[in-house]
Amino acid sequence: MDFYSAYHHGFVRVAACTVPVSIGDPADNAATILQQARACHDQSVAVAVFPELSVSGYAIDDLLMQDVLLDEVLSALDTIVDASKDLLPMLVVGAPLRHGNRLYNSAVVVHRGRVLGVAPKSYLPNYREFYEKRHFAPGDDQRGQTIRLRGEDVPFGPDLLFPASDVPGLVVHAEVCEDIWVPIPPSSEAALAGATVLLNLSASPITVGRAEDRHLMCRSASYRDNSAYAYCAAGQGESTTDLSWDGQTMVYECGGLLGETERFPDGARATVVDVDLDRIGQERVRQGTFDDNRRTHDGRVREFRSVPFELAAPSKDIGLLRKIDRFPFVPDDPERLALDCYEAYNIQVSGLERRMQAIGEPKLIIGVSGGLDSTHALIVAARAMDRLGRPRSDILAYTMPGFATSKGTKNNATRLSEQLGVTFAELDIRPAATQMLKDMGHPFGEGEPVYDVTFENVQAGLRYDYLFRLANHHGGIVVGTGDMSELALGWCTYGVGDQMSHYTVNSGIPKTLIQHVIRWVISEKLFEDEVGTVLQTIVEQEISPELVPSDDDSKPQSTEEKIGPYALQDFNLFHVHRQGARPSKIAFLAYHAWKDAAAGDWPSGYPEDQRIAYELKTIREWLVVFVQRFFANQFKRSALPNGPKVVGGGSMSPRGDWRMPSDASARAWLAELDREVPKQ
């Protein structure tokens, strides 16, 4: 398949459709359904679901039991089935069908000129405005049955799964309206049996507040069942004798809303989205209790029947119909971002509080550079001291200028420390670093401008050597400042360096989120206005380790020029760590997230001049760097000090989310990337 094909990367296109209905006129309804089905075909949709009793109309009362209507329903189904021969999507439509001595409210599953199966509604509402038992029989006892349609026996029952033989991970199950409202829905059993795309054909008359109830049900079902859940309600044309209809459609995936349509529409509407089957599979594999629950219900689950079909999905570029966050650790929605920042900051603060309480109220020793991470660690420490009722002077902050420390960052560190009221001192490491380099026989010790990794790490190591001894001297603990992004990339000095501390507050939070937490701290005025002014300056400056000197004409050392933009590398980290995605899929997602700076949303407060785009070539280059560094630097993560997990995307702790051998090879990942991702 083409690299640019969504189907190539584990996505499947699903449509939840609502269409105007002609009550009691199946022929007209068939024409309307097929018009929408052809539109779905043109959009490369794999599965399209239509409302409950969409072939006949839902609110037609005793007309449901008229022979004329039931005969016309069969004729209309013939029309739909015959027309489906030339259509890509599996079509799932609602119809009243006779079976044995009863009538069943049914979901009819059609594909490429065949009726694959029929799923009867299991649970019939017969309360408030509903009187379905007047007309229909419950279908919960029809497991393992068949129904005669179009001259052949077709699988019939709520126990039907429809796996696509040529789309790995696509297994469809259909249930009808009330089925999701019961404590244990058929769809939950189907999910345990392997269904990944759950469909709900609803009529669902609208009353005040019911739309929110539907969202709650669908969201919780998709989250609990680790699945996609596509829902559609009846709309325009249904009888308003006693009820009204809003035609709501939506699709959720693992608890997240992929899309929805306007309510009370004039005409047909469809929520068309791309469902990530790989993500669903990953969630189920990771959450072992999901399959443990299957074992509990093994008797019911094993009774499900599979009716396979071949989709023949397109291999071309069809775009990607889902929102891909540029910053998966940073929400675009301002309210959600504010809540995440509140939680992240307080997780860090409370973690440090508890550690201090547990070991006897020590002083806190922090190296402050005026950069992003040490600044954040310092304001976490200051808040922890405030909450414990201790003076901020019990924080001992040291700025330790090296050979490339700039006046700006040093000034920021000084101003911030003084305005926070911590105990502050300057400790110049250059004499000790020069002596160490000289003792080692390094050329710089003899005055030669050799700025290699030894030159850099002598400075980084000395800083932490001093901090640990200062902690001994003052009865304190060293607070680690390095963040999760640096740990993923190995951008830290191992041992006596910024990889190590007595307690690390930033190791569970990525670089792209830290800057937003600091902005939130400013906006919430958690500290004095003067502190906020310095914090804003620090957030806006370029990220640099400041270990290699530069003259007046050269650009200062840049972290992101060496290891890649943190925006891209945090994107890669999330999809490797949290989603277990292949490198080629990560590149595909990054391409859609970053190819157009003007498209999509940016997090609130993100600087306008940094809202840029990345082409696939650049994405590919930095992804290679990420994979290489991620594998090569596991040994640093295997020896991490204690620190709190902050984000749901995971942590790097070997005692938590990430455990990996330090001598693992990246060969297979790099080979997949090289094989699948275009170089140009």
Contact 111, 93 (CB under 8 A): no
DSSP reduced 3-state for 18: strand
Question: Cβ atoms within 10 A of the Cβ of 151, count?
Answer: 5
Cα Rg, the chain, nearest whole Å: 30
Max Cα–Cα distance, the chain, nearest Å:
102
DSSP codes joined into one string, 74-91: HHHHHHHHHHGGG--SEE
Rounded distance between C-alpha atoms, residue 534 and residue 594, angstroms: 31
**Type and span of the H or E element at 155:** strand 152-156
Which tokens hold the place of 418? Answer: 């003084």
> Does 407 qualify as catalytic in the annotation?
no
Contact 372, 511 (CB under 8 A): yes
Q: What is the distance, to the nearest Å, from the Cα of residue 666 to the centroid of all Cα atoms in its chain? A: 24
**Close Cβ partners of 26 (under 8 Å, ≥ 6 residues apart):** 55, 56, 69, 72, 73, 75, 76, 95
Distances (CA, A) of 120 to 116, 136, 138, 194, 340: 14, 10, 8, 19, 43
**Close Cβ partners of 118 (under 8 Å, ≥ 6 residues apart):** 97, 104, 106, 107, 108, 109, 147, 149, 154, 155, 156, 160
Rounded distance between C-alpha atoms, residue 382 and residue 518, angstroms: 13
Rounded distance between C-alpha atoms, residue 165 and residue 257, angstroms: 27
Distances (CA, A) of 42 to 155, 194, 318: 29, 29, 10
> Of 17, 121, 253, 363, which is the active-site residue?
121
> Does 177 qualify as catalytic in the annotation?
yes
Rounded distance between C-alpha atoms, residue 345 and residue 73, angstroms: 60
Question: Cβ atoms within 10 A of the Cβ of 184, count?
Answer: 9
DSSP codes joined into one string, 622-640: HHHHHHHHHHHTHHHHTTP
Active-site residue list? 52, 121, 177
